[in-house]
Amino acid sequence: MRLIDAVRANNAAVAMAAEKWGFALALALVKVKRATADDAAHFVFEELALAGEYAELDGDGQVRFSPEGRFAFVDPAEGPMYEAKREDLKNVEVEYPGFPVAVPAPPEIRPEWLEALAGFVEFAEG
């Protein structure tokens, strides 16, 4: 599994945790959150460090982000190099033994959550 898939699953599990679910799904979400938390934090740390190598910095040496979450490159010609390194980071292989966890499908779920949890939660229809 790719690191970015774990990050997406973590984000979905965190978002879904704000809602009420049946016990089996709630337990599966907790397991996903716990299993992926360190890798998700690692991804954010590494992504920010990577941005710091290529981005314009503010007076405190921090990446200067726009309100949309974008940054300007010190040298725009290095954009492709940044993107290639970011793709490499996203594609780091990670393993999660014990997944996927099978649970009954909830009556409703957002498609983006369903997609993000693929590989971690297997929903049984019926």
**Chain segment 62-97, per-residue pLDDT in tens:** 999 889 989 999 999 999 999 999 999 999 999 999
Tally of domains in the chain: 1
Instruction: State the pLDDT at residue 81.
Output: 97
- The set of long-range contacts for 46-49, using a CB threshold of 8 Å and a minimum separation of 24, is 46/89, 47/86, 47/89
Note down the domain range covering 60: 3-124
Instruction: State the pLDDT at residue 126.
Output: 65
Pick out the chain residues at pLDDT < 50: none
pTM: 0.90
Letter string b/e over residues 37-53, b meaning 16 or more CB atoms within 10 A of that residue's CB: eebbebbeeebeebbee
The token pair that represents 64 in the structure block: 């200067």
Burial classification of residue 20, based on how many CB atoms lie within 10 Å of its CB (0-12 exposed, 13-18 middle, 19 or more buried): exposed
Helices in 1-22 by DSSP H: which ranges? 3-16
